[in-house]
Structure 1
Amino acid sequence: MQRVLVIGGSGAVGGFLLQRLGAAGQSVLALSRQPQLPRTGVQWLRAGLAPDLAVPAIDALICAGPLDAFVDWLCAAALPGLQRVIALSSMSAASKQTSVDAAERELAARLAACEQRLAQHCQVHDVAWTVLRPTLIYGAGVDRSLSPLARQAQRYGVFPRIAGARGLRQPVHADDVAAACVAALAGAGAGQLFELGGGERLSYAQMLERVRAGLGRRTLPLPLPIYLLRRIARLSGRGGGMVQRLTQDLLADNAPAEAVLGYRPRPFQPGPECWAAVSPERDGVQ
């Protein structure tokens, strides 16, 4: 049994991750700035990633929170006995490199730099590392992409339909990302970066229709032509990168993760439970 510290345990992937680690019999510490409900097998540390954070002796560290803040903290922390680090990055490190939005290009560059710093730090300190790059994460109701659309549609009964949005997507369930973290914790994939996409590739327009079909209520489609979205983005000066990507494929190569981590993501068949921001433990998700 390892003693594992989880950063971001209250986030989208973190809730599923804590549940899986507990089921695997791991001794789990989880960091959070805010009070959290008790979880079986989890000891909460109420603190942020401050330089003076006192961390009990741990064998492994999993970061399911913001990568940049984590890497800054890790490079300054004293963690004797640490043997394994698993960290979530994002496919945005690749997909937003050529965005028309400067802020998105900066994000892509920052993520890639953080990945490199993490690898270098772990190599210097003889710590095994693995970086995971998920695509669009859903399933915990806290993402900023699909969940807001779904909840607005559930409230108002109207859902956007973007017929020309032909760019392919691979939305990945947060629990599948958590499963990959646990597989990496067992020792597989040390010194490697893995892309994690969902188990199905479908166009952006098809992805929205799947969300709509699984809302649990009837909605009216609201046609939004891409040319109108482009014009709104130009006039507002915001969202140009998002509109640009509606016709671009944003896909992950799952083959390495499948071969090394035994990664088997589910197809995209979301139900109403995917858009409610609740703990998977309290919601009975297995």
Structure 2
Amino acid sequence: MTVLVFGGSSQIGHFLLPRLLARGAPVTALSRHARASQPGLRWLQGSLPDAVPGELPHPSAIVSFGPIGPFAAWLARADFGSEPPRVIATSSMSAETKRASAMPAERAIAQQLRDGEQALAAACARHGAPWTVLRPTLIYGAGLDKSLSSIARRAWRTRVFPLPAARGLRQPVHADDIALAVLAALDCPASAGRILPIGGGERLGAHEMFARVRNTLPHANLPLPLPAWLLHAGQRFAPAKLRGPLARLDADLVADNGELERLLGVTPRPFRPQAEMWFPVKG
């Protein structure tokens, strides 16, 4: 199986590429930045949907971790002849959790994700290519996310860790578990035509999630409690980009892993973070 990976340098790609190579699968990966190739792994520089090199291989499978809309646009124009590839792409649970947001920009993001999923399905139908979309919750594990890793690194520098009085449930998912789900989907014809939510193996309160991140820091840091009244005030007076996240602190942002486990046999791990997870991986 020859695999083409868009977003190979992403946090999920960091875990997927070694697993593909261990299977003996020839891999071509696309990145926006130049990277050195290695045996079995060829790196190309480009970006979706337009700046894609012309020397792409004819793949038996395509995996995409980038924005789903541009990927669908490229896929619709691609020519695979009579042998369409298996297609796996990631979207986001934000397609649902931000659907009813009070912030117009967040509702637009949710709509863009759902439109991208529909465009992907339509492009694959035109090619006769089987497809699967994974919708992850909050991703962590390689220090490349802009949520938990950013919070941990800021607290590492300042030695102050904000702890919001948040009541909503969270279900952070390790990037390697998403990589495992991709591999399982490649081997599972029954997962074709499905949009599968994928969350971590544990649901916990947002306050507890932040506390576990804080406990991974190797030096003493000052906990800074943020009471509910302050968070509610922030929803009115904070910059627009912060109002949505503040409003969701009391909302449950979780996924039902039932179909994922039934179809793919993947059981994501519980949330047991370690300090090295908050710093970007090498290579």
TM class by shorter chain equals over 0.9
Indicate how the Cα distance of structure 1 residues 151 and 37 shifts in structure 2: closer, same or farther if over 3 A, else same: farther
Whether the 8 Å CA contact 2:12–2:65 is kept in 1: the answer is yes
Whether the 8 Å CA contact 1:211–1:270 is kept in 2: the answer is yes
RMSD of Structure 2 on Structure 1 (CA): 1.5
Whether the 8 Å CA contact 2:36–2:43 is kept in 1: the answer is no
Q: CA deviation at 1:40?
A: 4.5
Q: CA deviation at 1:218?
A: 2.1
Alpha-carbon separation, structure 2, partners of 1:177 and 1:216 = 28
Whether the 8 Å CA contact 2:68–2:116 is kept in 1: the answer is yes
Alpha-carbon separation, structure 2, partners of 1:269 and 1:172 = 10
Equivalent of residue 262 in structure 1, options 255, 265, 272 = 265
What's the counterpart of residue 9 of structure 2? 10
Q: CA deviation at 1:52?
A: 6.2
What's the counterpart of residue 92 of structure 2? 90
Q: CA deviation at 1:90?
A: 0.2
Deviations 1:68-90 (A, max 9, x none): 11111111222333320000000
Whether the 8 Å CA contact 1:8–1:63 is kept in 2: the answer is yes
What's the counterpart of residue 178 of structure 2? 177
- Residue identity over aligned pairs, in percent, reads 49
Whether the 8 Å CA contact 1:154–1:215 is kept in 2: the answer is yes
SS at 1:231's partner residue? Answer: helix
What's the counterpart of residue 34 of structure 1? 33
Indicate how the Cα distance of structure 1 residues 29 and 159 shifts in structure 2: closer, same or farther if over 3 A, else same: same
Letter of the 2:212 counterpart? R
Equivalent of residue 252 in structure 2, options 249, 252, 255 = 249
Equivalent of residue 159 in structure 2, options 157, 160, 163 = 157
Q: CA deviation at 1:41?
A: 2.2
Alpha-carbon separation, structure 2, partners of 1:227 and 1:39 = 54
SS at 1:68's partner residue? Answer: helix
Indicate how the Cα distance of structure 1 residues 174 and 39 shifts in structure 2: closer, same or farther if over 3 A, else same: farther
Alpha-carbon separation, structure 2, partners of 1:155 and 1:237 = 23
Alpha-carbon separation, structure 1, partners of 2:22 and 2:218 = 30
Stretch of structure 1 that moved more, 199-208 or 188-197: 188-197
SS at 2:244's partner residue? Answer: helix
Q: CA deviation at 1:241?
A: 1.3
- TM-score normalised by L of structure 1: 0.93
Q: CA deviation at 1:209?
A: 0.5
What does 1:38-187 correspond to in 2, within 5 Å? 38-49=37-48, 50=50, 53-54=53-54, 55-80=56-81, 81-163=83-165, 165-187=166-188
Unaligned runs of 5+ in 2: none
What's the counterpart of residue 21 of structure 2? 22
- TM-score normalised by L of structure 2: 0.94
Alpha-carbon separation, structure 1, partners of 2:229 and 2:62 = 46
Letter of the 1:262 counterpart? G
